Structure 1
Amino acid sequence: MTNETSWISVCAVGDIVPDTGVCALVHGAQVAVFRVGGELYAIDNLDPCSGAAVLSRGLVGNLGERVVVASPIYKQHFDLRTGECVEAPEQAVRTWPVRRQGDHVQVGQADA
C-alpha cells in the first residue's frame, strides 16, 4: 500500500496577500492557507481553544525562529510549520501538505 497525496487547487498565489491567510474547503475540512515570504503553509482553520473557524484571519509573525499565526479570539500562537500551540501544546492543530504548482496554490491530503 502506498501513500499518495491528492491535491486540490484552492486559489492563485496572487490571491493571498503576503503575510496573510485565506480559508479554503479541502476534502470537507476548513483549511487556513498562509503565504509568508516565499513560503506557503496550511493548518486547520478551527481554533481549538475557542471552537471558532478563524485562524485564517489571524495575525502572522515570528516568535523567535517560529513562524506563527495568532488566533484573533484568545491570541494563542500556532506554529505554521508544526501546528503546535505555543502557549498550550495540547491544543495543536493539524498541518496540511501545501505546494505551489505554477501560479496555483494546492493543498493535499495523504491517502491512507
Structure 2
Amino acid sequence: MWTKVCHREQLTPESGSAAFVDEQQLALFYLPSVQEQVFAIGNWDPIGKAYVISRGIVGDIAGQLCVASPLYKQHFQLATGECIEQEGIQLPVWQTQWRGEELWIHMNQEST
C-alpha cells in the first residue's frame, strides 16, 4: 500500500528527517545527488535503543551509502538497512517514489 508522506520542500537535502507513518517511525534521507533520492529506513537504533537514526550523518563506506547512528556510531546501509559493524542487525527499509512533488512510501516492508 502506497502512502503519501510529505512534499519535497519539507525535506532537507543531504540530511535526515523523521516521519511517523502507519504507526511506525521512519528515517527519511533526501539525497538529490543520488538517483534514488530518498531512502526510508527504520528510525529505531536497535543498539542504542532510541529513535535517533534520522539524526545520523550520511556518508559512504566502501561505495555503500550509509548513515552513522548518533549514539554509538554504528553504520547502517541506506539501501538495505544492514549494520556494517555488527552482522545480523538490520533496520527495516521501505520503497519510496516521487509523484510530482509528493513523496510516497510503500508501507509493505521490503524484503532485503
Structure 2: any 5+ residue segments left out of the alignment?
none
User: Which amino acid in structure 2 is aligned with residue 102 of structure 1?
Assistant: G
Which whole-Å deviations, capped at 9, do the CAs of 1:85-104 have from their partners, x for residues lacking one? 00012121111111111101
Partner of 1:95: 93
- TM-score w.r.t. the length of structure 1 is 0.88
* Aligned CA-pair RMSD: 1.3
Structure 1: any 5+ residue segments left out of the alignment?
1-5
Partner of 1:82: 80
**1:14 aligns with one of 6, 9, 12:** 9
Q: Between the two proteins, what is the percent identity of the paired residues?
A: 37
Partner of 1:3: none
After TM superposition, the runs of 4+ consecutive aligned structure 1 residues lying more than 6 A away are none
- Structure 2 residue matching 1:90: 3-state secondary structure: coil
* Larger relative contact order, structure 1 or 2 (CA cutoff 8 Å, min sep 6): 1
Partner of 1:29: 24
Distance of 1:89 and 1:42 partners within structure 2: 21
- Structure 2 residue matching 1:110: 3-state secondary structure: coil
- TM-score w.r.t. the length of structure 2 is 0.88
- Structure 1 residue matching 2:88: 3-state secondary structure: helix
Q: Which deviates more from structure 2 when the two are superposed, residues 57-66 or residues 33-42?
A: 33-42
User: Which amino acid in structure 2 is aligned with residue 87 of structure 1?
Assistant: E
Q: Which deviates more from structure 2 when the two are superposed, residues 45-54 or residues 15-24?
A: 15-24
